[in-house]
Structure formats: C-alpha cells, structure tokens
Structure 1
Amino acid sequence: MFNTTVTPTEKPFQSVNWSFNFSKPIIVINSQETIGPEYEGRITFFPSTASLELRSLTLDDTGPYSVSIMHDGLIPSGQTTLVIYGEQISTDLVEFSGSVSLSCSASGSSLSFLWLNGSSEVTASDRVQLTDGGSSLTIINVTRFDQGPFRCRVSNPVSTVTSDPVNLFINGPENINLILPPPQGYFAVGSDTSLTCSVGSRPPAQFNWFLNGDQLLDTGSELRLMNVEMSQSGNYSCQAFNSKTLRSQTSEPSAITVQQSSQLGDISELKKAIPN
C-alpha cells in the first residue's frame, strides 16, 4: 500500500501519474484513466488521496515508485522504493540418473503432511519414500513424470497451509524428427527450401546438420537452402545435443535431389504413368 501525505479532498485532482522505475506507467489519470498492461487487475487507486494499492507482488516489482499530482496549480510529488524478498527453487536432474529429496517444515502441533505433484497426491512406492512423519519426500531414479510442481500441504485440526511449488526439470533429447517439404525431396536448380528439426529437450537442444555424413557449418533447428545447386543433392540429417545431459540424438536421413527443371518434368510424367 503506497499512502500519500495529501490531505483528502472531494475535488478531483487535475492529474495523477504513478510510475515504476521512473519510466514505466502504472496509472495515469487526467481527462481519462490509463492503466499499464502489467498492472491490470493488480491495483486499486484511491481518488481522494491519490494513494495506490499494488497486489500479487512478484520479485520483478522490486524498485523505485514515484507519483506526481497536479492540484490547484500545485504539483506535489514523491517517491519510495519497494523491496520484495522471495525465493524460487528449481533442481536440474537427468532422467533415470539421479535422486532428489524435499523436506517440509512448519510450526505448530498435531501436524500432518501431504505431498502433491500438480493436483495429484504423492504416495509411497518403490521409487518414492515418505519419511520423518511424511515431512520428507525422496524420489529415486527420477523420470519425466516427476517434474512437478511439487507442493507440501500441512494441516492441523484447525487450519491448512500449502507451500510454494518446487519444479524438477528433467532433460532429453528424445523423439527427434526431420521435416522436409515437399516430402518427395525433388527440387529444381535455383529453388529455395528448408529443413526443420524438432526434438523434445529441456533445456532446448543445440543442433548440427550433416550432408552425406559430413557436418555442415549451419546450426539451429532450421536449415535453409537458398538457390540450390545439383551438388547439394544427398542425404541430410540433424543431430540434437543437450548440454545438461551430454546426450545427443540423430535423425534418420532425408534425401534431397536437385535437378534441372526439364528433368523434374520427366519425373512428373513418369509418376503419372505408374499406376497406384
């Protein structure tokens, strides 16, 4: 709550300007009211004192706030700094190669603990251990289904509280796929085309491209071939590499054939002559 020292008044202010970090508008009131898009639904303005309430705080709300008011020819202004304290926890784990332990603590008596993965209750199994009265959770040989978010719910006979979430990021790569338009792979000399490589990976994979087994200089998930020549015919493949897991996966090769336009016409006629 940002309270001004302005004496409450029934007469509307000529203008009010609240801003963050001296440049980002929060709310501007003159002949009309304008609210910054990041603050829609998060603020309440009090017109009698020009005070401001800011809700649903995040770490990004830390910084200087300023207000200027025009009233009866005077332009009083003020500023303050808001500091948000918080912590976001994440753990990088490789599928089938690591274990993780989470612990939950709370003050009070007659406490009971419940762990949630998303909206589902976590129960003990061969890979999941609940110890210390349920306040500690250990997952052995984590898989992609263990990525969370995990929350701990603590209750006693009169109240219940739930912790902030913790996410476990499980990495790939897997299910690599090379997409080539058109799928038959015939192109005329001088035409343009592109190949796209997709793969499941967290964090995002790095890509390398190969022609007939030889690595190309191109990187990225898309390989663009511009003004193609016949020498660019061959088998193309992409390789995805994950810097966290140090694993890679290579696609099946896709053949590209670059020919003169007249040859493509002959191929088209031949396909028409072959019955389905």
Structure 2
Amino acid sequence: MIIFTSLPKCPYNISQLQEAVLPIMVICLTKGAGVLPDGPLNATLGGTMVFTTTLTPPEKPFTFVEWKFGDQSIISTNTNATADYEGRVTLFISTGSLELRNLVLSDSGEYRVLIIPQGGSILEGTIRLEVYGEQIFHFSTDLVEFNSSISLKCSASGISLSFLWLNSSSEVIQSDRVQLTDGGATLTIVNVTRYDQGPYECHVFNPVNSDTSEPLTLSISYGPENVNLNVKVSKGYYLEGSNISLSCSAVSRPAAQFYWLLNGAYLNDTGPEFKLVNIQMSQSGNYSCQAFNNKTLRYETSQSSAVTVLERISGTAVTPSTNLPIEGNSVNLTCDAAAGSIFTSLWKKDDSDLILTDNMALYEENRVLSFKSLNNTDSGKYSCEISNPVSNDKAQYIMIVKYGPENVQIKGPSKIDFGKTLTLTCSAESEPSATYTWTLNGTEIYSSSVFTKVITELSDSGSYTCQAMNNIAERTSSAVHQVTVTAILGETSGCSAGCIAGIVIACLAVCAAAGGGGY
C-alpha cells in the first residue's frame, strides 16, 4: 500500500494524482485551531484510531464535548453513541479525545470535535481520516446446501480497479452457478454446496498497485446424510436381561439431532447414544435412528438393525408318548424345555451320536424322535441337548423295550427210570421276565420255570409243554419236551400188583411173538 504523507494544498489538481497511484489519500491540510493536530490520519481496515486533542486536561471537567462525522453526531457527554458507532467508540472526557475501533472503509472522512470548557469559549477542531484496504460484504447469513444463493461484494478505494476472486488460493471461474458482475466486484453463487464455503479472498489491483482482502469463509448447512447405526458388540441375539448400546452418526452441519425408532415407531429416547438396559423379549425388533438438521430441515433414516432377545433354556425333559414301549409298537420321544426358545436339538444314544435306523425318524426340527416299530435293540439311554444362540440345556430318558417271550427252551432228560427225580428247566428271552406254566399231555401240572417230580408212574411219560408268558406285552410262547419213563425188571419198588402183572403179560406177549418167528 502506497501512502503519501505530504501533499500540496487543495488548490492543486488532486484528481491527477489519484490516477497515478492506488490506493491514495486525498489530503487537504486542515488546522484544528489548536484543538487537534494537523491531519490527515491514516488507518487500516479493521484497525483502531485514537483522535487525540492537543488540550491539557483542565482542573475542572469540560462542560460539554461532542464528536461528529460530517454532520452526523457520533457521541457526546450528554448522549450515548449513535447506532452506527455503538460498541465501537469511547469518549475520554478529561481530554476530549475519541477512540474508534473496528474500522471500515466507510469510516474514511472528516471528523469534528466541539469542546466547551468551564467558563471558557467554544473550542472546535477538524481532522480527516483515511481507511485503507479491501473489504468483502456478504448478503446472506443462513446458507443451506442446494437451496441458498450468496452474493459477495468486494469494496475498495481507488480508480481503474480490477477484481480477482480466489477460493482457497484458486481463481474463481464463472460458470452456470457462479456469476461475476459489477466489473468483477460482485461474486454470486447460485445453489451453494458445501464445497463453496471458501475461504474467499478478493484481490484488487490496477497498473501500479494491488492488495488482497482478509479471507472470508461461508457457513453452509448441509445434510444429514450417510446416517449409520452401530451396535456395540453386535451379535443379533441377546440373552434376556442383557444391556445393549447403540449409536448413531451422520454427516451434517450443524450437528444432527437423533431420534430412535423400533419397527418404524418413534421411541421417547433422543441423542446419538441409545442404551437398552435389562432388555426383555418384548423389546425384540428392528431398531433404526433418524437424523434431523434444524437448519436444512431435512431428515434421513439409517439402516435397521435386528435385535432378537431370547430367554435362557431351562427345564429340559424327554417325554415318551407311552410309558410301555412294546416291541413292534410305535413310540415318540419328545425333547422340550419349560422355558426358552429352541433353535437346535441333538440326540445321542448311550453317550454316542444317534445313528438313525430304518425304523427311526426325526420331526419338528429334530425335537421328536419317532420309532415306527420298536425292536428290543432300541433299548438304551437316550439324551437330548437343545440350544439357542445364547444358552443350552440337556435331558435324558432310559427306554426299556418290552418284548418276548421268545426262544423258549426246555432243558432236561428225555428218558428217566422209575424212582428217579425228573427236573425240567424252562427259559425264554423276555422283558420283563416271563412267567411259566407246565402241562403234561394237555393237563396243567405246574407254574414255575423249573419243574421237579419223582417218577412213580408210567403215566409220567409224555409231552411236557412249557408256556412262557409276558404279562406286560400280553404275549405267550411255548416249547414241548418228550419224556419216556423206563422200568428195570425185578425192581418193583413202588410198583403195584397190577403194574407187575402188566409187565409180565407184556413180556409173555413179546416171547410169543418171538416164538412165532422161529425161536
């Protein structure tokens, strides 16, 4: 910046000098009648200027002091600062001096002071102030992305001025959205975006000088967008009574306000953090958050996040469809829990993974093990483990298949002599154990698995039948055993006269038959 500190008096052609330099001071040396020093005073844009009088502070305060800018009153001992100068000026009563702050280009001009001392004559003085620099004015404050337009005007003193606008040190080029008018002094941006925030600088120049304004950054409201919901330690499934923390974020200026929704319905909670404490199954659902910008008046909702609350599995039991599983019949074993949601079921038999045979099938997501036709080999310990993503539990059931009797067998002699003890033992495969009944030639003679009798009659010979019976299965099965009683001649012990006569007759009959044969 070029400043002339001394120039000829006003009769000289000052306009000729203004064409030569930029910026330039127009100076007419003005005497302040002993009240103010010779001017002019020079200051920079945004700075502070103190108009100091040459008066010695009197013993008694001045009766009256007033400062004016041209014909406009600035401040006096009787009045406060006028609206244009409120907060920018301070009057020093003791000396009559004035301080002017936050200078703008329009503060350039002539200032006049009027002072009335105690019992003295009126004192008056004038002085000129020149403010130098460039200044950008903008005519919009609340800018909304895509909705607002902004005009920036560059103000500078001087002649033959050219204007160049810079955005972050890059030249602003005119386009469909960017307009340069008033010889380049005014920059207008239509439908601003967040990338139009600047900082903007106005570079002013002529053939002999140049200067650049202070940078100006625009405040542009945008968003919300990219709204994202995040669940801390996201698992999808949570045990009832757990605590869950959710957070919401968004790209927004100013910062967005957040609202929370469950299955599309608004909750009472607001803010970027949302906590579920001691969560219950009724709070399961799809959670989302909504961001709101109170400047742009725009909403955007995040993606939803499913939260499923599960009760802990407890009270697991295996229940048979009948308490009497009988071979050949069907039966179902159902694995269920008194509480909790069941996701999977795993069956084992005798502590090993269950291998399905042709007579087995699984139903209802493996919770029901069905036997179409039981075999005795299906007996064993069956265990079931049920689980969900947050818990598991197990139970077992011992199944004993009722079967038989089958494979009935009689053990004992086929021949026995008089006087000997006959012992016959009957056995069968059966669950539960069978009961046994003996018959001889169709007549029931005994009820036990072991039959014992001393042979005293030829009539003890015959067909001994053992019938085994399963009282639970209500099934029977039999076996027959032939026993022949033999007698040794001369041994008549226990044989009646009729018995002996019968034996003799039998022997004679045999001898006659032999004689007829040539003996």
Q: Quote how far apart the aligned CAs of 1:149 are.
A: 2.1
The residue number in structure 2 matching 1:259 is: 310
Aligned ranges 1:75-224 → 2 under 5 Å: 85=102, 91-156=141-206, 157-224=208-275
| 8 A Cα contact 1:153 1:163, kept in partner | no
Q: Quote how far apart the aligned CAs of 1:216 are.
A: 0.7
1:240 aligns with 2:362: no
Letter in 1 for 2:290: Q
Aligned ranges 1:59-74 → 2 under 5 Å: none
Q: 1:19-49: per-residue Cα shift (whole Å, max 9, x none)?
A: xxxxxxxxxxxxxxxxxxxxxxxxxxxxxxx
| 8 A Cα contact 1:151 1:163, kept in partner | yes
The residue number in structure 1 matching 2:323 is: none
Cα distance in structure 2, aligned partners of 1:116 and 1:167: 13
Letter in 1 for 2:264: G
Q: Which has the larger radius of gyration?
A: 2
Q: Quote how far apart the aligned CAs of 1:228 are.
A: 1.5
Q: Quote how far apart the aligned CAs of 1:124 are.
A: 0.5
Gap change, CA 1:268 and 1:97, over 3 Å in 2 = same
Report the more deviating stretch, 161-170 or 190-199.
161-170
Cα distance in structure 1, aligned partners of 2:179 and 2:211: 23
Cα distance in structure 1, aligned partners of 2:184 and 2:210: 18
3-state SS of 2:388 partner: helix
| 8 A Cα contact 1:153 1:160, kept in partner | yes
Letter in 2 for 1:266: N
Runs of 4+ in structure 1 over 4 Å off = 86-90, 261-265
Q: Quote how far apart the aligned CAs of 1:164 are.
A: 3.5
Cα distance in structure 1, aligned partners of 2:183 and 2:290: 47
Tell me the TM-score normalised to structure 1 length: 0.61
RMSD, aligned α-carbons: 2.8
- Work out the number of aligned pairs and report it: 190
Cα distance in structure 2, aligned partners of 1:230 and 1:246: 36
| 8 A Cα contact 2:203 2:210, kept in partner | no
| 8 A Cα contact 1:191 1:226, kept in partner | yes
Letter in 1 for 2:222: N
Cα distance in structure 2, aligned partners of 1:86 and 1:197: 46
3-state SS of 1:201 partner: strand
The residue number in structure 2 matching 1:72 is: none
3-state SS of 1:145 partner: helix
Q: Quote how far apart the aligned CAs of 1:83 are.
A: 9.1
The residue number in structure 1 matching 2:32 is: none
3-state SS of 2:309 partner: strand
Cα distance in structure 2, aligned partners of 1:108 and 1:207: 52
Q: Quote how far apart the aligned CAs of 1:261 are.
A: 4.5
The residue number in structure 2 matching 1:49 is: none
| 8 A Cα contact 2:237 2:389, kept in partner | no
3-state SS of 1:104 partner: strand
| 8 A Cα contact 1:147 1:170, kept in partner | no
Structure 2: unaligned runs, 5 residues or longer: 1-87, 89-98, 105-136, 314-340, 344-386, 393-519
Q: Quote how far apart the aligned CAs of 1:233 are.
A: 1.0
Letter in 2 for 1:267: P
Gap change, CA 1:134 and 1:98, over 3 Å in 2 = same
Letter in 2 for 1:110: S
Q: Quote how far apart the aligned CAs of 1:86 are.
A: 7.7
3-state SS of 1:245 partner: coil
Cα distance in structure 2, aligned partners of 1:208 and 1:92: 24
Q: Quote how far apart the aligned CAs of 1:150 are.
A: 1.9
Gap change, CA 1:123 and 1:176, over 3 Å in 2 = same
Q: Percent identity?
A: 56
The residue number in structure 2 matching 1:5 is: none
Q: 1:158-184: per-residue Cα shift (whole Å, max 9, x none)?
A: 332223413131321111111112333
Comparing both chains, which one has the higher relative contact order based on Cα–Cα distances under 8 Å and sequence gaps of 6 or more? 1
